Amino acid sequence: MYIEDTHGLFYQDVVRSLKPHSQCLSIILVNTRSVLSKHLALSTIASICRPSLIMITEAWCTSEISNDSLRIDKYNLFRGDRRTGRGGGTLIYCEQSMCATQFSNPILSQLNDSIWVEIKVVRSKPILVGCVYRPPSSSREYDNMLSNIFNVTANLPFSYKIIGGDFNLPEVSWSSLRGPQRYDNLINSIVTGGWTQHINSPTRSANILDLIFTNNITPSTVHVGHEFPGSDHRIVVCSFDIFPETKRRDEAGQIPMRLYTHADWDLYQHLIRCSNWDSYFSNQSLDAILNNFYQNINSIHDVIAPEKILNFRFPQSDYIPTSFRRSLRKHSIKYYRYHDLSSLIAITSLLSRIEELRNIGLRNKEMQAIHAPHNSGEIAKLFKSRLMNSKTPYPKIIYLDGIAYENNEAICELFSKHFARLYTLENDEVVDFPRKTDECLSDIIFTTHEIDKAVANLKLSNTTGPDGISSVLLKKGGNDMSLLLLKLYSISLSDGTYPNCWKKSYIVPIHKYGPIADINNYRPINITSVVSRVMEKIVKTQIIQYLLSNDLLSPSQYGFLSRRSCITCHLDYFDYITQSIDNGRSVTTLFLDVSKAFDKVPHIRLLTKLQSYGITGNLHKWISSFLTEREQLVKINHQLSSSKPITSGVIQGSVLGPILFLLFINDIVSVIKYGKPYLFADDLKIVYDYGYGDMSVESKIQQDLNDLGDWSEKWQLTFNPDKCGITHLGRWKPIMCLYMYGKLLSKLNTVTDLGITYSDLSFSDHANKVVSDCKRLTGFVLRNFYTQEARLAIYRTCIRPKLEYCALLFSNLRTVDRKKIESVQRFLTKRIIGFDQQVEYVDRCVRLKLEPLWLRRVKCNLFLLFKVIRKHCYSNSSITWENIKSYQLRNHDYLVKVATHRKSIRANFFTIKYCTLWNQLPPEIRCCENPDGFKRSLERHFNMSTLARLKDHNCW
């Protein structure tokens, strides 16, 4: 491999200015102008010199670029990508042995193109290191913010502070600290904050652009070297006489684990059949049955997959094979000692070969996922594993009240206490709830058929719950397993006792949004016993059948119920709104948020409501046992916290929890007198329509809010006024002052509701957001996946569903927005086929076995309409069959009524546009009653050769 002489001098210069593998803090600062193209040179520097920190400006990284494509062996990566637009961005590579974590601060995080890292040092407080890129065209507002950053950072409680980066301030004289007047605030902040700038030699042409600022510390050496290969900026190298604290290599904990690679499942079924179950079937004591069940299953488990104590180590970034690592070390030492150019060539060649092997491995993984039996799940897993955010499923550091917690044990305890605070204690007030039905459900019928069906629906997994049983043991147990579970479930229900061994659950913290180090940005998910989940599934199914058959669930509830979904909720809600606006009325929608709804349900009040809905006897007693005396333990990386009691809530992650919550909140719609409510689990919106100039609507809405407040106080389930709001649609938008708990509700200019973002009924906000997200994901796929099959599979599985979510609203989109959505697939097909090939979009779709998105929307919406009119899904929309006169021709059978309409908002809506299209379908398609038959008929009718039938496809 050929290396230019100037590049050889560059590496020699860096080696001379640094003491490789020194324990003091050493920093390299460089403007790369695209780090991807300079990754090999950076890896070479890291291999030879081992600096403590490598600070990069103008990294040009976006969310399309994965951490895998940027990583350097034995370094941790911290990213400060530019949030909007191209270019810019900063990176900091920290040597893996240092105790370094990303520092989160609300003021520092406002500065675009910056990243901040906290590093522990020996016998001192931690130091703060920041990397900043200031664009040449920065505004005065940006410079004022930068000035504030220097002021804030100077006052932070760190022993030393270091800020490096490309500041693009050639007009400032750093020796005299003078410059143009527009930089006076910045220079004053640097002076008054006690900052010192240490670069006095030009770093780009004759200008000093790349700077190192320090506070309370002076570098021992500072050197401006040669230009970085491929960049017009010189590299900056400096060292400090401070010693970063080195962390112990992640401790190898000993954990019990079972290896199922060579498990004999035929032997497992045979042992279950031959074990002594006499006392199990003859005994009527639940405790004795449970002991016998777990004792036998665990004994058999030990035979087919013995438990072994394995040394567990948290994964490192050691992706370089041992032989290559040894060669790299040998040539790095040789180059450092003798400056032998052949060693530098060998290092570069080795790193290139390592990258090739890595790419081959990634291609092999893609092909394995594509050819897996359940390839859609494997493809989704592969896609998620390569996304940038999937690298840190659990936080390595958590901040609470300004204190950092780092080790797993402390973090587990912190989460445990935090989640325990979410629960409430129920007051002693006796609350009456009127009987809702004369019917009752007091028992559950368990059969081997129902148990086999529930077990078959379990995901095949080796992960165990708190009782040590995994789903694979139930699924591989054969017919005998269902007989064992039948006995266990029957005794449990007849006793009205939920076993204590099932009441323990592991809590997994799931990050929702915001900084990963903020504990308030996590929600708890319970991992419960898989044996319990099978029983809960059967109980839940029969409870729902009982509730629906007796019409006990509110028709306004769309969550957690079969045949109801976000889509049907949106259909009914927007059908009602567009109909009201079409009739010349205005619409106000009230969006209400229940605070921590699932965690705060009071148990006694819930049990009271269950009884009023006719759930009595052993079933009521069993549910009471299910809810009470539970405990939780937080589990992170095989570390368990101490147990905490669960005093309220319906157990997020359980099977039975959602239906219990629906029953608890079911009567909330009865207190709403003037509005039309729409519920999706705990998400409540209420619609009020009124004529022009109707001044009474405000008092009506306030009355409903007052009644809802009284309901929440009575049932101890409070709303969060800060997350509630109102929107107005229609030609008259009155100014309203509405209050909940004495707080003024805000007016929402843009609403995000059940995955749809909108400010008006053109839904342009939703289209722009979806297109932006999907273009980013498409770019990520094209950059990080290498085979055509994988790219197409991931597009179909993970990206296209986002483009097609809630397609019923797309007919209201403007033509330009529909073209934007189609452009995502246009771009993907063009990239895969190649820009050099002049192939039309439809032909590209045919070649890649894709359909245009607009055509898929037509089919999808017609199928939704079919399900609505054939009652395969639940909807309160205005769609009805047309009344057909007996003398009309047969061709007019199975027509739907197209409602009269005046305005384009209503004319373009799903219930008008697709009812019109439905009536144009051939009678043999309209008369289909079977969903699969209807789909096949649509496929034949709307095939790629008949696209001309819908010439103006932009309207779809």
Q: 3-state SS of 166-197?
A: ECCCCCCECCCCECCHHHHHHHHHHHHCCEEE
Q: DSSP 3-state helix, strand, coil percentages of the chain (rounded to 5)?
A: 45, 20, 35
Q: Burial, 249: exposed, middle or buried (Cβ in 10 Å; 0-12, 13-18, 19+)? A: exposed
Closest CA to 920 of 946, 906, 941, 934: 941
Give the pair of three-digit tokens for residue 904: 């384009």
Q: 3-state SS of 433-470?
A: CCCCCCCCECCCCCCHHHHHHHHHCCCCCCCECCCCCE
Helix (H, G, I), strand (E, B) or coil at 404: strand
Closest CA to 870 of 822, 933, 781, 954: 933
DSSP category for residue 810: G
Q: Are strands 630-636 and 644-646 parallel, antiparallel or unpaired?
A: antiparallel
CA distance 158 to 130: 13
CA distance 619 to 611: 10
CA distance 142 to 127: 25
CA distance 130 to 165: 8
DSSP category for residue 494: H
H helix runs in 550-602, sequence order:
566-582
Closest CA to 488 of 542, 534, 537: 534
The phi and psi torsions of 579 (rounded to 5 degrees) equal -65, -40
CB of 29 closer than 8 Å to CB of 212: yes
Could you please report the per-residue DSSP string of 916-954?
Answer: HHHHTS-HHHHT--SHHHHHHHHHHHT-GGGGGGGS-GG
Helix (H, G, I), strand (E, B) or coil at 317: coil
Strand order in the sheet with 725-729: 676-680, 683-690, 586-593, 725-729, 746-747
Q: Residues near 749 by Cβ (< 8 Å), separated by ≥ 6?
A: 759
Q: Burial, 947: exposed, middle or buried (Cβ in 10 Å; 0-12, 13-18, 19+)? A: middle
Q: Are strands 725-729 and 746-747 parallel, antiparallel or unpaired?
A: parallel
Q: What is the pLDDT of residue 852?
A: 94
Closest CA to 485 of 448, 440, 523: 448
CB hemisphere CA count around 737 (13 angstroms): 2
Helix (H, G, I), strand (E, B) or coil at 837: coil
Helix (H, G, I), strand (E, B) or coil at 641: coil
CA distance 662 to 609: 11
Closest CA to 228 of 21, 4, 71: 4
Closest CA to 916 of 955, 875, 948, 888: 955
Dump strand ranges (E) for 725-852.
Answer: 725-729, 739-740, 743-744, 746-747, 751-753, 756-758
CB hemisphere CA count around 285 (13 angstroms): 5
Alpha-carbon separation of residue 557 from 513, 565, 665, 723, 876 (angstroms): 27, 9, 9, 21, 11
Give the pair of three-digit tokens for residue 866: 């079919």
Give the pair of three-digit tokens for residue 869: 């009119």
Alpha-carbon separation of residue 521 from 233, 400, 411, 598 (angstroms): 40, 12, 14, 16
CA distance 287 to 299: 18
Q: What is the pLDDT of residue 314?
A: 47
| Angle value at C-alpha 505, between 500 and 511, nearest 5 degrees | 165
| Element containing residue 75 per DSSP (H, E) | strand 75-80
Residue the block writes with tokens 């941790």: 76
Q: What is the pLDDT of residue 251?
A: 47
Helix (H, G, I), strand (E, B) or coil at 740: strand
Buried b (16+ CB within 10 A) or exposed e, 648-670: bbbbbbbbbbbbbbbbbbbbbbe
Q: Which residues pair with 592 in a beta bridge?
A: 684
Q: What is the pLDDT of residue 954?
A: 54
CA distance 906 to 916: 13
| Low-confidence spans in the chain with pLDDT less than 50 | 1-3, 5, 250-252, 314-318, 389-391, 886-887, 889, 951
Q: What is the pLDDT of residue 2?
A: 40
Rg (CA), the chain: 32
> Most distant CA pair in the chain: distance in Å?
102
The class level of CATH for 5-240 reads alpha beta
Domain segments of the chain: what residues? 5-240, 318-369, 764-955
Alpha-carbon separation of residue 180 from 133, 207, 347 (angstroms): 20, 16, 46
CB of 123 closer than 8 Å to CB of 246: no
H helix runs in 436-565, sequence order:
448-456, 471-475, 479-495, 530-549
Could you please report the per-residue DSSP string of 98-136?
Answer: B-EEE---TTGGGSSSEEEEEE-BTTS--EEEEEEE--T
Q: 3-state SS of 663-722?
A: HHHHHHHHHCCCCEEEEECCEEEEEEEECCCCCCHHHHHHHHHHHHHHHHHHHCCCECHH
| Element containing residue 66 per DSSP (H, E) | none
> How many helices and strands in the chain, by DSSP H and E?
30, 30
